[in-house]
Amino acid sequence: MNCSFLGGKNYTNMNSTNKSKRSNSLSLVALGAMITCTAALTGCTIAPERTQAEKDKEDKTQGYSSSSSTSYFHTGSSSGVHSTPGGSTVTRGAFGSYGSSAG
């Protein structure tokens, strides 16, 4: 991987002892550079802003439509079926509409 930011910053714990909880060097990649560099390397796609329809869909899917305790699913529906130059179809936007839920 020949990218200028890799190895550009090296943070080494010089005070490691035999009891240290951290013994190896920390070679850190700056995230800002990371984003730029990754885009240059791989053609990283910057996604367009979500449309109002997509945001509306998120609102809808986050509000449960069923009070049943045994139904496993929301009522979100997939959208965005696109044809490719090769003649196949690709469905996008079917997953990821709930927004952030990491923690």
Residues in contact with another protein by CB under 8 A are 1, 3, 6, 11, 13, 15, 17, 19-35, 38, 42-45, 47, 49-50, 54, 61-64, 69, 72-79, 81-82, 84, 86, 88-103
The least distance separating another protein from the CB of residue 12, rounded to whole angstroms, comes to: 9
Phi, psi of 34 (to 5 degrees): -55, -45
Smallest separation (angstroms) from another protein to the CB of 52: 13
Comparison of 13 and 56: residue with beta carbon closer to another protein: 13
Structure tokens at 58: 């998120």
H-type helices in 7-86, by residue range?
31-42, 52-62
CB of 29 to another protein, least distance (A): 4
Question: Can you read off the two tokens belonging to residue 99?
Answer: 């927004």
CB 22 within 8 A of CB 62: no
